[in-house]
Structure formats: structure tokens, C-alpha cells
Chain A
Amino acid sequence: MRLAPKEIQTFRDDFTYTNSAEAIRRFPFPFPEDEYRYSVNIEPHEPKDGEGSVYENLLDIDEHYLSEMHERSLVLKEMPHRCLAMDHMELASWDMIERCMTSMAEDYPEYFSLTKEGEHWTWENKLLGIKDDFIFADSDSLPMPPLEYIGRQVQGDFALLDQRDGDLFMDAGIITCPADWSLAFDAGMSFSQWHGPVPMAHKEGIFDRALKYLTAIPVGKPVRRLNWTLTVNARMDTAPENYHEWGHERTSVTPENVGEKVYLRVELQVIDRMPRSNALMFSIRTYLMSLEDIVTNPQWAQRLHRVMKTLPPALIDYKGLSRYHSTVVDYLAHFDQTN
């Protein structure tokens, strides 16, 4: 990791969250072309863009690590049901422990270490001051349930999808920074059920193709895609459960504050087959970048303007942007003079 974790910043109340110049440089800008188009845009999760890129490792740990882990503990304290694992997902949770601990210790040895003596494992997380001995696959040997234990130490949200009858079911997850969806609501749903609200894509057969692709992902061949939306303020937790805390903020965007108040919210989604349980680990790593920071890159500013301008109304509505979409377009137009 080229970025040392910063001191804890906030994603609520006084919103002290900021991006360093290096964090801006490595931001996964999600638009490959000027016009917005629907696509599944899945590719193998292999390293690209060199050292320090968000695609360098299976799990990206960056300067916001301490802040995000702190935010996660705040959410779980208020709402413990944001982490759940149905009984039959216990082995999948252990699969996730192995995958995360192994890759974190390998990719960030200065911060994490894992030693194994048969089933007796020792895990050290120097950033959070954690050191635990436990017995692999014995949930009683951990201080808390296995999914919560590892989920509190990895940036991003995680869902564990059970695969049966050629379909995927959302039967476990730790979801504390969702873009307006709820694990408690989606729990137990099938792939097409939890994608029910997404407009347009059903008609184009995108979900059928995506499901077929996902159910065939083999062990050791993770894939990734980027997803995006806009968020008002640097708020990680935009769950329906606390809509009362953030929903009204959509009316607070003005031409004067749009650059600092509106954030492009990008999810790097990685989908990885778990070997013991055959479950899929679906990780959703969220990056927040204010429009002010985005426009420091002239190409991004120009492209984002064109994408926003051509966004279909059904998507503007679905992503909850109706209130301030035109303010965003007007702001970005200043950075796209040729248009």
C-alpha cells in the first residue's frame, strides 16, 4: 500500500472525510465513454494500472481504512441486523475468512499477518490492534460470528450468495455502507428478486446473462465490475433504514455548494467463488469523491458532464437524483466548454 491510513475522519455529522491528491489520482473513474449506456461490464479481477492502483490486489486497503472501520462499528452498534448470516452460511463465512486473511497478509504484510499451524491460526491486524488465536472453522473460537469478525476488518460491504438450482440467494452479508438498499430486506431473495427495482435492464435480458455468467465463475478466477451513483455529502451509510437522516439532504444542493456537496460514489464490485461452500463472495468497495475533486481532472470533468446530460430519465429517478440532477449538469457544463 502506497497510502498510509489517515487518522479517523467522519462520514456523518461534521463530514470531515477528504481525499488526498494520491487518492484522487487512483480513483476508479467508472465511465468508459461519453454517452451513458447500460452494460454488465464484467471483467476478470486481475491486477492492472500498476502499483498503487485500486485494481492491484484482491482487496483494496487505502488511506480511509481506519475511518471506514470506525464508521462500520458505529452502524453495527446502532443496527446489529446490518450483519446477518443464515445458519447454512457458516462455512461460507469461514471461506471468506480464509480468502480475506490470506490475501491481506500477502498483499499488505506491514499491516496484517496470518500464521497457520494446521487448524490453529493466528491473525494479527496491526492497524486495529487485533491479535487473535482461533481454530479454523470453529466459530466458538472467535470472539464474534465469523462473518462479522472479518467484516469489521475489511473495507467495503460484503454479501455471501448461496448458489442453488442455477440461481443465487442473498443469505448472508455485512452491509453498512449501501447505496440505498437493505440487507435485511433482500435477505433470502434470489438474484432476479433483489434486482427487481432496477429499470430497463430486465427488458434487455442483462440479468439473465449476468446470472448465467456468475453461476459459472470457477474457484480462483474472481471477476469485477464498477457501479456508480451520486450521494449528497460524504455519507457512507445511505441505507433505507436511515433514510430519515439523509433523504432530505437531496434538497440541500444549490448551484453554490454543488461542487463540494455532491459526491460521485463508485463501487468496485468483486465476485469470487468460495471453494468449500460454493458460495460467491460479493464485495462492494465504495469510493467517494466530491465533484470538486473530480473536476481537478479535466478529462473526467468533461466526460462526467456528457454522461450526466445523456442519462435516461428512468435512471435519474431510480438513482434518486431527480432533485439535483440539473444542478449537477449545469455545474459540470463549465468544465466542458467545447460542448
Chain B
Amino acid sequence: MSADQILVEVTSVVDVSPSIREFTLSPVNAEFYPFSPGSHVVVEMPAAKKTIKNAYSLLSDPLDTAVYKIAVRLQEQSRGGSVYMHQQVTPGDQLKISPPANLFAPQWQAKKHILIAGGVGITPFMSYLPELERRLADYELHYLYRSDFTGAYRKELAEQLGERFFDYDSSQSQRCDLAQIMSDRTVGTHFYICGPEVLIDSVKAQAEAFGIPASVIHYEEFAAPAPGEPFEVELKKTGQVVSVSSDESMLEALEAANVDIPNLCRGGVCGQCVCQVADGDIEHRDNFLSESEKQAGTAVMPCVSRAKSDRLVLDI
């Protein structure tokens, strides 16, 4: 176990919707750090054939260092992580997690905060709310979900937030009108989106239409790396060849082969794991590289991206 990791015990497992399960993690050896709203931890799952690592937002009160809580949605196209969490993990189990890191922190100089959550994308905002309340900040939460299936926590939220809470149940045909949410906002309003790519793209498009600057639009895509075709990775400096199966990421395959690559979000946004590519066609799936960098085809983010060709040669 690397020094960075924290050993935790799962002290409670609760279904917060038919597809979303909440896990309470308690420290085993040392105290937990307090964390900042929007932080995530990377959970290491020792599955049968391989170790899976997924990042999950912390959804407890950031000042509560007694426990951390995460919520995991069972993904239809799982590479094994969400299935492992749902089927294998029970109270009393021990897991390893990274210390909290944050790529989705609130902008505290904002005059108003508009939070837009899609389904399990509610999780990072669960840690925003206690701090927004403490600071008496001006905010609204807009929550898009499909009835009980993905609508975790909506009853508590409605009770706690009152007029600040707006919910849209797609199974009741309640549509969220982004144009209405985003129009006539005062300067200094910041928008935060966590949810599927289509929701993020819609908010970005609406912002562009209204002339809202990109600097006040913040988002965190809720996506673990999706599966794809198997391929091989060759390391140019050593000649080592590593096979990447369809349900593991390039980063996971390299780690399993003891190739250490710095990484943080494991979701294609932080840029830590970027590798130079010497040969091969890349299937870019990240949100970090620019369009021109992607077209140049000389860099890849192995946490989410894959190869279109049978083999990718990395310049490492």
C-alpha cells in the first residue's frame, strides 16, 4: 500500500435509490482529513481478475472528519467498478482510498451559485450545501432525475432547501428549461453542472447563446472510463508490450504491469496522466487536450482514452 493511501472500513451500506447505493467509510488507522466541497477520493477495488480504481465524490459534510460518504450508481456499461461496489462490498469490509483531491471546488468569490445536478451527479453538491449554508451564500439547486430510479436524496433536499430547491422528474415529463434558469442572471453568478455529458453540453450551448462567459461555467462529468475494443500498448523506451482488455483502461493495464503514471482524477479532466505517443491511432475520450492537440495525435490521456489501431506506441 502506498503511503498516499488510506485504509477504511465500510461501516454502512444503504440503498438511496434502486440504482444508487451509499457507502459510509470510517478510518481504520488514522483520522480522516477535513476536505473541501466538491472533493473526490479514488477507491481501489480488488476485483477477482484485476484491481479497479474509480473516483467518487465525497457527499458528507466537509467538516465532519468522523466518516466519509460516497454514492455509487450501478452503471449499465460497467467495467466492473460499480458492479463490484454494489455486489461485493458489505459492512465490515476494508478498502483503500486516496486522500481527498478537488477538481470541482466552489468559486467562493461568486455572488450567486446555480447548481445543476443530473442523477447521481447530485453527489458533489451534497458536500457544497453545508458550506454554502455556513457562509449564508446565495444559491439554487436544480436536480434532474428519473423518479425513484436515480432521484436519491430528493426528499431530504426538498425539505432542507425549501425555495432554493428545484426538481425535474423525467418520468413525470417535468422538463428543465435551461434557458429560463440561465437567463437574466446578475453578473457574478456562477453555474456548476455535474451529470452526463449531454447535460453539460446543453448548459455550455445555452451559455454561449446568452453570451455568458465560459469562466463562470464549471462542470464535472460523471463518467468512469467506458469499455472499448482491446488493444496493445508498447513502451518505446523499454519495448515492453502491455495488453489492454476491453473492460479495463489503458492506465489500469499499465499500472497492473507496474508502469507508474502520475494521475489524479482518472476521468480525463486533470491532465496528470498525459503521455506522448510515438505511433498509432488514438481514440480520444478526454476533456483535457485541446482539439488541435487531439488532431495532432501525439498525446493521449490513458485514464480514459483508447487506441483505434491494434497497437499504440507510447514515448515513455
Contact = CB atoms under 8 A, between A and B. Distances in A.
B9 to A, nearest CB: 20
Contacts of B218: 165
Given A275-B36, A276-B36, A278-B102, A221 B4 contact: yes
A219 B270 CA distance: 16
B39 A278 contact: yes
Contacts of B105: 163-164, 278
A276 B37 CA distance: 8
A219 B107 CA distance: 19
A212 B33 contact: no
B186 to A, nearest CB: 17
B215 A86 contact: no
A218 B101 CA distance: 6
A13 B215 CA distance: 48
B99 A219 contact: yes
B272 A88 contact: no
A247 to B, nearest CB: 35
Interface residues of A, number: 20
Contacts of B107: 164
A267 interface: no
A163 B106 CA distance: 10
Contacts of A91: 108
Interface in B1-52: 4, 33-36, 38-39
Contact of A216 (B35, B99, B100, B272): B272
A278 B109 contact: no
A270 B232 CA distance: 41
A275 B108 contact: no
A106 to B, nearest CB: 14
B36 A218 contact: no
B35 A219 contact: yes
Contact of A218 (B34, B38, B99): B99
B264 interface: yes
Interface string A167-188: 0000100000000000000000
Given A216-B264, A219-B33, A221-B4, A86 B98 contact: no
A275 B33 contact: yes
Contact of B36 (A87, A88, A220, A278): A278
A136 to B, nearest CB: 10
B63 interface: yes
Given A276-B62, A277-B36, A218 B108 contact: no
A216 B102 contact: no
A165 B103 CA distance: 9
A276 B98 contact: no
Chain B CB count within 10 A is highest, among A88, A221, A275, for A275
Provide the main secondary structure of the chain B interface.
loop
Contacts of B101: 216, 218-219
A148 interface: no
B81 interface: no
Contacts of A89: 108
Nearest to A165: B215
A162 B270 CA distance: 17
A212 B269 CA distance: 12
A53 B257 CA distance: 39
Contacts of B62: 276
A89 B9 CA distance: 34
Contact of B109 (A88, A216, A275): A88
A89 to B, nearest CB: 8
Contacts of B108: 88-89, 91, 162
A290 to B, nearest CB: 40
Chain A CB count within 10 A is highest, among B34, B38, B262, B272, for B34
Nearest to A169: B109
B57 to A, nearest CB: 14
A220 B99 contact: yes
Nearest to A119: B63
Contacts of A218: 4, 98-101, 264
B151 interface: no
B34 A275 contact: yes
Nearest to A217: B101
Interface in A135-194: 162-165, 171
B118 interface: no
B279 to A, nearest CB: 24
A212 B103 CA distance: 12
B302 interface: no
Nearest to B263: A216
A212 B33 CA distance: 23
Contacts of B34: 275-276
Interface string A208-252: 000010001011110000000000000000000000000000000
Contacts of B38: 278
Chain A CB count within 10 A is highest, among B35, B102, B264, for B102
Interface string A61-89: 00000000000000000000000001111
B33 A216 contact: no
Contacts of B262: 216
Interface string A260-280: 000000000000000111100
B223 to A, nearest CB: 19
Interface of B: 4, 33-36, 38-39, 62-63, 98-102, 105, 107-109, 215, 218, 262, 264, 270-272
Interface of A: 86-89, 91, 162-165, 171, 212, 216, 218-221, 275-278
Given A219-B35, A221-B99, 5 more contacts: A86-B109, A88-B109, A275-B34, A275-B36, A278-B105
13 contacts: A87-B109, A162-B108, A162-B109, A163-B102, A164-B105, A165-B215, A216-B101, A216-B264, A216-B272, A221-B99, A275-B33, A275-B100, A278-B105
5 tightest A-B CB contacts, nearest first: A88-B108, A278-B36, A278-B102, A275-B33, A278-B105
